[in-house]
Amino acid sequence: MTSYSILRELNQAPGEDRDHRHPAAVAPELLVGYGFRGWIAGYQTGDVQCWARVWRLYSNILGPPAATGAVDYLASWAKSVNASSRRSVEISSLEACEICRDECLAISLIAASQHQTCPAMRACAFALIDSSLLDDVLYHTETFAVTMRSYDKIVSPEWIVNANAFVDPSVTIAN
């Protein structure tokens, strides 16, 4: 099954037949990456259907009560990234199987927070927003990461990237 068909399956409306046992249905990376993509897409296009798709995904995987809290914190995190970024946040199309640079950094940011690797978390945040205005982004990163952890959705530490590979070497990170 391709990533696209997995996403399509997980985004089905409640009551439609779907296989809850599929391994991707519990992948924290999918929830974080697709949630970030969908929420940023909603901000960039003004299409609330992007947010509705994210809600269905979270609701189908976590259940509606847990999804309410998780999506609230996801929305706050994505809003802080979008508002703090010095440039337009890059995302792939909602149907795309691959993840782009900014989506990779977003997943890495949550992984670094969940695994308490502060230097990596700060570096990923800086690389993602291309700005030293990190405080708001880091605050919302932490709240979303803790929320996902509370639902046992912990992103693998293997997702923590070397953010310095994404940063212009002439720029320094302000503390």
Q: Please check the confidence at residue 13 and state whether its pLDDT lies above 90.
A: no
Neighbours of 19 (CB within 10 A): 10
- Residues 121-148: what's their mean pLDDT? 95
> Is 161:104 a contact under the CB 8 Å cutoff?
yes
Which contacts (CB < 8 Å, 24+ apart) does range 165-171 have?
A: 166/101, 166/105, 166/127, 167/123, 167/126, 167/127
The pTM assigned to this predicted structure is: 0.81
> Is 132:174 a contact under the CB 8 Å cutoff?
yes
Q: Please check the confidence at residue 60 and state whether its pLDDT lies above 80.
A: yes
pLDDT band with cut points at 50, 70 and 90 for residue 94: very high
CA 13, CA 53: separation in Å to the nearest integer? 9
- Residues 2-16: what's their mean pLDDT? 46
CA 57, CA 73: separation in Å to the nearest integer? 15
